[in-house]
Structure 1
Amino acid sequence: MAVLRVKFTKTKRDKLAQVLWILNWISVVTGAILFSLGLFLKVEINKREELMAERDIQYVPNMLIAVGLIACAINFLGGKICYDCVDSTKFLRWKLIMLPYIICTFFFTFCVLVGALMCYSTRGELEESLNLGLTDAMRFYKDTDTPGRCFLKRTVDMLQIEFQCCGNNGYKDWFQIQWISSRYLDMTQKEVSDRIRSNVEGKYLMDGVPFSCCNTLSPRPCIQQQITNNSAHFNYDHQTEELNLWMKGCRQALLEYYTHIMQSIGLTVLITWLFELSVLTGVRFLQTSLENVLRQGDPNSESDGWLLENSFMETARINLNIIKSLGKCNQIDTANNGDPNINVPTTSKAHYGPDNVPPKQTPEAS
């Protein structure tokens, strides 16, 4: 029994072909949108790639770019096919192509769905990449004279100002690293030398943060040194002065930023997938209805169209049998080493003679 059988008159077939022609051209535009979204996401990731660990998170924008280009090509071809199918006589030139086209489009729509799911499933990998990347960037913040790292100070400062964040998980992350270069430390001062000697690794650690951590909305001048020393500042309590520094960590700020972008893109891709699936369904109905018209021989007659000629279970069983038969043919070819002229010897009694007795072996003449 056919799945979703629908009866089409000639007028309905022509209108279906015209609507599908328009929808395919709209799909070309949606393919260009997918390409643009993938390109935008790739640029946004590359803008802050120095703040991310070397992990493969580029596969999401690359997937969207590839899907967008393929969508433009497939839907352009689909528009041409549907335009010609308005005239049933022109359907003959596409008859052998339409079924492979529908199968390829089906797998393409599946790839679109995978691309949408990728946008929602990369949060964990992105968070780990940001965590490791920001940790390294803060560790090399002081290396302004080291080639390849001299730009990190400016990058981290601009990040904290733009996203109103401080540190990796919070401002206290700066207390655990030496973020001031040794060239700017006066080693003759007792306070500096004592602080370095008190550290096992010989680092100059202090309860201070870079200026970029200062909250511009704070009602008092920024306190970025001796943050935990209440007596060092007038009318100050570091546990309640939350407006003086940015409280949010940069990892969380960047994660929210990229998550919002990916979720928006994922929703757009999901809507595109539903649209592509509806167009594919319409093309399948058009193909089956036109094939039935050719069987009847009358281009003006009514014809049935369906999604599947048999039920889902029957279709799966038929395809499984086809795969099994292909596997058996492959085994026979392997046994013959790919040579069809090799005959496999048989032991059937029909080859022995009328008395079913094997012929005697005669010795060769010496």
Structure 2
Amino acid sequence: MNRSCVNCLKTMVISLNFLCWLCGAFVVAFGEFQMIHSKFASLIPTFWPIYPANTLVVTGTIVTCVCYLGVLGGMKENRCMLITFFVLLFVLMLVELAMACVFLVYSRKTEYFKNDLLQSLEIYRQSGPDGNKTIKKDFDAVQHLFRCCGVNDVTDWKGDVPISCCNKDPCNIVPITNWEEGCLEKVSEWFTRNYRSTGAGVVTMFIIQFVCMSISIPLFCHFSREGLGYQ
């Protein structure tokens, strides 16, 4: 392989890995943004281990580290870095593929939302003025954001309807009109969209990383034949 081909492969490896590194950094930032502004975590504890924001932060952090190793390996023509990059990227791709399958499957399993939301609503109803402020704040935010009331409908509150259900100002004058539609369907739809979009994003990163790995193989083979890469 002549030097011009090697330089072309190096440029492609460095450019693609740098692009992948930028994607990973963006994924981390977007996951942090979701974690800060999300109003659903405390209401649906069953889904917390596979919450989209958590997955984005963890995956993005690992991707940035692995792709940074690929950039350095290509720039320094270092076989040790390249083979480490190749192995780590292969394992990461398998994990991402499994994650994408999990998200696409869970995007259809929204029946668990009902139990979690009903339990959160009961905690809200039974809590005093100083009790479980997190669930109260999040439930109020969800009802205000989605313009809904209760889980199935307004009757879930059994007459003790919070002010966040009010659909027409002023909300401190009787009679108060409330949203009639429940939050279950709207929250389920929101999670379904997020799971599908997160799964699609993971698949996209998988494709980019597969191209990076494919290009790094001939580059590593060339360094091996020339005896380069361990200095």
Q: TM-score, normalised by structure 2?
A: 0.77
Q: Does 1:105 align with 2:89?
A: yes
Match of 2:30 among 13, 27, 37: 37
- Give 1:34-113 correspondences, 5 Å limit: 34-45=27-38, 47-52=39-44, 54-60=45-51, 61-85=53-77, 94-113=78-97
| Separation in 2, partners of 1:68, 1:154 | 29
Amino acid at match of 1:68: G
Distance in structure 1 (CA, Å) of the matches to 2:55 and 2:140: 32
Q: What SS is found at the alignment partner of 1:255?
A: helix
Change (3 A) 1:161 1:72: closer
Deviations 1:177-206 (A, max 9, x none): 4x43xxxxxxxxxxxxxxxxxxxxxxxxxx
Structure 1: distance between partners of 2:140 and 2:55: 32
In the TM superposition, what whole-angstrom CA distance separates every residue of 1:234-285 from its partner, at most 9, and x where no partner exists?
xxxxxxxxxx753432111112223323322322222111111101110012
Q: 5+ residue gaps in structure 1?
A: 1-7, 86-93, 181-208, 225-243, 295-366
| CA pair 74-145 structure 1, distance change in 2 beyond 3 A | closer
Structure 2 residue 13 is the aligned partner of structure 1 residue 20: yes
Cα separation, partners in 2 of 1:108 and 1:159, compared to 1, 3 Å = closer
How far apart in 1 are the matches of 2:110 and 2:211?
A: 33
Distance of 1:143 and 1:173 partners within structure 2: 13
SS in 2 for 1:50: coil
Structure number having the greater helix percentage: 2
Change (3 A) 1:15 1:140: closer
Q: Which amino acid aligns with 2:196?
A: Q
- Mapped contact 2:108–2:192 kept (Cα < 8 A): no
What is the alpha-carbon distance in structure 2 between the residues aligned to residue 145 and residue 259 of structure 1? 33
Answer whether contact 2:154 2:179 (CA < 8 A) is retained.
yes
Deviation at 1:9, TM superposition (A): 3.4
In structure 2, the partner of 1:134 is 117
Give the number of equivalent residue pairs.
224
Deviations 1:288-310, CA, capped at 9 Å, x for gaps: 2343455xxxxxxxxxxxxxxxx
Q: Which residue of 2 aligns with 1:286?
A: 219
Which letter does structure 2 place at the counterpart of 1:12? C
3-state secondary structure, aligned to 2:128: coil
Q: Distance in 2 between matches of 1:150 and 1:271?
A: 39
Counterparts in 2 of 1:154 and 1:288: CA distance versus 1, 3 Å: closer
Counterpart of 2:62 in structure 1: which amino acid? I
State whether structure 2 residue 213 is matched by structure 1 residue 277.
Answer: no
Report the AA paired with residue 116 of structure 1: A
Percent of pairs with identical residues: 21
Instruction: Identify if the C-alpha distance between structure 1 residues 149 and 78 changes in structure 2 by more than 3 Å, giving closer, same or farther.
Output: closer
CA 1:75–1:64: 2 relative to 1, 3 Å: same
Deviation at 1:12, TM superposition (A): 1.4
- Deviation, 1:211, is 5.5
Letter in 2 for 1:280: M
Q: How does 1:161-176 map to 2 (within 5 A)?
A: 161-174=144-157
- Structure 1 Cα separation of the partners of residues 154 and 198 of structure 2: 32
Work out whether residues 42 and 58 of structure 1, in 8 Å CA contact, stay in contact via their aligned partners in 2: no
CA distance in 2, matches of 1:277, 1:140: 47
CA positional deviation for 1:154: 5.8
**Aligned letter for 1:66?**
V
Provide structure 2 residue ranges, at least 5 long, that are not aligned to the other structure.
none
Aligned mates of 1:257, 1:32 — CA distance in 2: 24
- In 2, Cα distance between the equivalents of 1:154 and 1:293? 63
**Residues 70 and 81, structure 2, Cα contact 8 Å, conserved in 1:** no
Q: Highest relative contact order (Cα 8 Å, sep 6+), 1 or 2?
A: 2
How far 1:72 moved relative to its partner? 1.6
Equivalent-residue separation in structure 2 for 1:101 and 1:151 (angstroms) = 42
**Contact conserved, 1:67 with 1:111, CA < 8 A, in 2?**
no
CA RMSD of aligned residues (A): 3.3
2:143 is equivalent to residue 160 of structure 1 = yes
CA contact (8 A) 2:103 2:195 kept: yes
For the 8 Å contact 2:153–2:180, the answer to whether it is kept is yes
